[in-house]
Amino acid sequence: MNILRTIRLAAWFLVIVVAVFTGAIWATRALKPVPEAVPISSALSQFGGAFSIADMNGKRITERDLAGRPALMFFGFTSCPDVCPTTLTDISGWLDTLGDEAKDLAVYFVTVDPERDTPEQLRDYLAAFDGRIVGLVGTPAETARIADAWRVVYKKVPQGDSYVIDHTATVFMIDKSGQFAGTIDFHEQRETALAKLSRLLRSAQNS
């Protein structure tokens, strides 16, 4: 009988210990600070900033020129074997499909290869795409400044006696106030890209 009583007391003691331990764990979790989510406005503000660069016709373009109408900005280079011509073809197709809806949309193609991409080279290259696409080319320092403003990464990759450039393959959407408004990824579904652009354009009309 004493043995049974001892076993029961030991069992109850074990239950109490487990309950106390579990309660302590939950109390610790409840008191632990919950990390605050990064505000959307803060994330958006990480894109964009001061820059000054020339377009392919010699006109200076700064961040102030991005305000007043919605815009798209894409970084690449004229010797790009696939990503750039594909993206520029996609952009030309979007503009054609949107028609008059996109009449106020500015489109900029920023070269990340200023050593080879002269203004003349940009004009000749972009002649194969929609005429509203404007090429931007600057000094290496100006190129680095605008790329840094838009968090674009690019680097030379040797290829035989020449080189190609790895770079961020994203189309940046910019709203009427000149602020970052989202992205269109490389090879994103056409319907999705058009829906994003329509929202951007409607937002500009309603603001």
**What does the pLDDT read at residue 1?**
46
Q: Is residue 168 within 8 Å of residue 37, measured between CB atoms?
A: no
- DSSP annotation of 150 reads T
Q: What is the pLDDT along the chain (207 residues), one digit of tens a residue?
A: 444 444 444 444 444 444 434 444 333 333 334 334 434 344 445 788 899 999 999 999 999 999 999 999 999 999 999 999 999 999 999 999 999 999 999 999 999 999 999 999 999 999 999 999 999 999 999 999 999 999 999 999 999 999 999 999 999 999 999 999 999 999 899 999 999 999 999 988 886
**What does the pLDDT read at residue 153?**
96
- Classify each residue of 119-140 as buried b or exposed e, where b means 16 or more C-beta atoms within 10 Å of its C-beta: bebbeebbeebbeebbbbbbee
CB atoms under 10 Å from CB of 103, counted, come to 11
**What does the pLDDT read at residue 45?**
56
**What does the pLDDT read at residue 75?**
98
DSSP string, 43-101: HHTTS----EEEETTS-EEEGGGGSSS-EEEEEE-TT-SSHHHHHHHHHHHHHHHHGGG
Pick the closest to residue 139 from 54, 25, 19 (CA basis): 54
